[in-house]
Structure 1
């Protein structure tokens, strides 16, 4: 008997079908493909892989089409796949071990995790998982029912049980471009509408309909469907935690934190042996400003995941990132805010060791280290994580060093890069400015196909920095003629006026363009042209620019520089919201609690809806102020007062006001 039959239903899948079939040809003894009306090369591709091909008239019923495919299967095991799914070669040993050793049981089917890539671009994928029962023994009376998001059943033969196994299926069908191409939403909604018309919706159907609305960005309808699905659902249903976490995440996005608290405490807490619960609880605490409690939750999430991994158990409940990446990233942010920089860097390094292909994490780590350690120390650390003999690793380190304007690192990795022919105009401009190579800067010509709209402002920044550094405005004007960014001509006029020391812009113009001018100032600072940096600040000075610089220096632990700027802004009463919050955090870290409360109070006056400030504000204020801020919080957020940990905190603070014991 054949070991494995892969059964598929397809229509117009010429783009993705080859990837799917390539991934199973070394595992499957036969491939059954039921085509529901393709008009492209799908059938031709199927025959190239020696698939058994059958035509089937589409009837808005996935179960019917699935059952047609398994009707033709002759293998001991059946694996059901879609064309936009595939198996990973790294998993082949696990698949072979299962298929060779597992004995078919007539009442048992197998639930596999489907790893969904749902992002907009392939290099920015968001990853989620969902359990789907796709593997089952053949010739045991098992078949599909329900017209959409079809499920396996044995009907009158008895209950079908589901066993979870760690054999992954990978899925890209809901990437935004694919949804557009396939018009899946419209097709699926027509089936759901027909089912609702006949009052034929199960709890599972409401869950899958909720997913459909969620992918379509209709959050209100997604919430309604998830709530209906959870009304009388068995906790042991494989899809239940996915529905629950999906609902909680939507409550988060809609700032309905009272409902987040309700569902987290009453239902998600039953899954506290998974990292997901602790990460979600941590996010809940952090959102309300309870940073210490949030950090404890994030650390517990990491600990729980490590324990499950050590026992070879499934590590996450729903979201892979909740077991490590998300809690670590949140810890990093909180450690930085609490001025525990060593812990922040430790966790950034751990994150990079786990996945050194994440450029944003690398960027954050190197940016901070370069301002707080020697170039040799930074290079030594990076060489422990990366192999610069690997071309991809070296190029990544070189590119990050370029973006951060770190000349010592750029020169070090440049030796291993070799040819610079692959560099874009933007990176050539960066390299010329960073290495103080005026000749190279002057010779750079722009190629229209390189001018990605997203990078045009960055290219202009490098041209502007070079123009200021070498006192040469003509090259800047030449670059501007090649760019399409609407802001660039005005910015160029400002820079040229500075270089020529004439027709300097008025204060309102400088305020309007402070964010872009900040990019120029930052780059001058990074290339260590401090004379031109000071000159630039004196000419371009606005409260908006000074606030951005102060906050930038504060973020990089350049505290003395940040405080100098904050002092200027404080004397002129021009501290913005972020500056006030940073000063509040700084004074808490220095144990100047009364001053901290003063800065937090000013920040809340500017943005009273910033809920995560009230915890610190109430905690560090004097007794008289505590009462006022509790009243203000209750007025601004009446729906959050009864969140359990918020209520407990407020009651504790009220006792302190009355002179009670804590």
Structure 2
């Protein structure tokens, strides 16, 4: 049976840490707790569970903290965890079975990360695979009987283990602060981070967060971008235009978005909001309908589901059409029910 180091980076997690550590008991042969500046009882709780506790000076870099935690691990495999995760009894058994029968060539195990939509995370899937268990030391292996070469790709196994994500709240304000600091320092954001920044804006950003991000996303247009990324940028800039009630900016970005092919739900939604705020409910209905039924979301799945449906209900309510208003209210209610959505 393999041994496992569980590695966590934490700060002020006293409300959820014991729940997480309890679910790791018997699964982890050691628990590495890297604290980035807690002022509550986080470290005391960790000590009660026998964690190996290390302090790490926070440098606005989660990757650096994760790397530090991995350096402290000493077992065969490293399991990366967050304090707001839980493994229930059924999945604890699956994890233990995995420890006993994992094939030695497997270097990464993916597990199902669940419960995301309920807590308004930056992902548009309630359940998705994420790499969670990593072989600590890699064995290099030659391949092919002639013109032999070293295998570069890791061997990945998709397990049936489910990790339940149960955060107390949304961390977007913390992330917005990190994004702003990186941009001010001139640190280039990867394509993935640019997308995540836009996602967080559309999931939990307030008007001021969008306006603070506007110059950055405008600046991205100075370089050649793939259509996929252009549509994300257009979503952000269209929202900024609506916040500022700048019809020219809305028109410029929305038309380009529509011209790309299939328009983005977020753009259609914001154009609908623009006309709704102007009192043109007939025009608003067209755009909200397109957001709900004729387009695809780029950043937040709710802009193609309940959000435009609710706006359709409000538009018909303002127009005095009670029947249509109730119809779309009911559709919006069903859209919130994930089972109804799946059906």
TM-score by length of 1: 0.36
Equivalent pair of 1:2/1:29 in contact (CA under 8 Å): no
When Rg is computed on C-alpha atoms for both structures, the one with the higher figure is: 1
1:560-581 CA-to-partner distances (Å, cap 9, x unmatched) read: xxxxxxxxxxxxxxxxxxxxxx
1:202 aligned residue: 189
1:37 to 1:219, Cα distance in 2 relative to 1, 3 A: closer
1:65 aligned residue: 65
1:187 to 1:115, Cα distance in 2 relative to 1, 3 A: same
Instruction: Identify the match of residue 316 of structure 2 among 332, 335, 351.
Output: 335
Structure-to-structure mapping, 1:484-499, within 5 angstroms: none
Equivalent pair of 2:176/2:197 in contact (CA under 8 Å): no
Equivalent pair of 2:257/2:263 in contact (CA under 8 Å): no
Rounded to whole Å, the distance in 1 between the matches of 2:316 and 2:107 is 54
Rounded to whole Å, the distance in 1 between the matches of 2:70 and 2:9 is 10
1:262 aligned residue: 252
Question: How many residues end up aligned between the 2 structures?
Answer: 303
**Partner SS for 1:129:** coil
Q: Which runs of 5+ in 1 are unaligned?
A: 118-124, 143-156, 161-165, 306-314, 357-662
1:130 to 1:258, Cα distance in 2 relative to 1, 3 A: farther
1:17 aligned residue: 17
Deviation at 1:28, TM superposition (A): 5.9
1:227-277 CA-to-partner distances (Å, cap 9, x unmatched) read: 23454455557xx86665344323321212332333333247658387545
1:80-123 CA-to-partner distances (Å, cap 9, x unmatched) read: 53x4x43596x969x97xx89x9998799899799489xxxxxx
Rounded to whole Å, the distance in 1 between the matches of 2:163 and 2:258 is 25
Equivalent pair of 1:10/1:36 in contact (CA under 8 Å): yes
Structure-to-structure mapping, 1:206-245, within 5 angstroms: 217=208, 219-229=210-220, 231-234=223-226, 244-245=234-235
The structure richer in helix per residue is: 1
Structure-to-structure mapping, 1:131-150, within 5 angstroms: 135=131, 138-139=134-135
1:115-134 CA-to-partner distances (Å, cap 9, x unmatched) read: 489xxxxxxx9x46248996
1:245 to 1:172, Cα distance in 2 relative to 1, 3 A: farther
Deviation at 1:207, TM superposition (A): 6.8
1:347 aligned residue: 328
Rounded to whole Å, the distance in 2 between the matches of 1:112 and 1:269 is 36
Deviation at 1:317, TM superposition (A): 3.7
The structure richer in strand per residue is: 2
Rounded to whole Å, the distance in 1 between the matches of 2:34 and 2:190 is 29
**Partner SS for 2:208:** coil
1:344 to 1:15, Cα distance in 2 relative to 1, 3 A: same
Q: Which runs of 5+ in 2 are unaligned?
A: 139-150, 155-161, 338-343
1:159 to 1:337, Cα distance in 2 relative to 1, 3 A: farther
Equivalent pair of 1:114/1:130 in contact (CA under 8 Å): no
1:160-206 CA-to-partner distances (Å, cap 9, x unmatched) read: 9xxxxx98845555469xx6xxxx5898489537x72xx43235567
Rounded to whole Å, the distance in 2 between the matches of 1:40 and 1:286 is 47
| CA-based RMSD | 5.4
Structure-to-structure mapping, 1:72-83, within 5 angstroms: 72=73, 74=75, 78-81=79-82, 83=83
Rounded to whole Å, the distance in 2 between the matches of 1:12 and 1:274 is 38
Rounded to whole Å, the distance in 2 between the matches of 1:216 and 1:338 is 28
**Partner SS for 2:122:** strand
Deviation at 1:9, TM superposition (A): 1.0
Equivalent pair of 2:85/2:163 in contact (CA under 8 Å): no
1:35 aligned residue: 35
Equivalent pair of 1:2/1:76 in contact (CA under 8 Å): yes
1:324 aligned residue: 305
Rounded to whole Å, the distance in 1 between the matches of 2:166 and 2:257 is 29
2:159 aligned residue: none
1:343 to 1:288, Cα distance in 2 relative to 1, 3 A: same
Structure-to-structure mapping, 1:374-413, within 5 angstroms: none
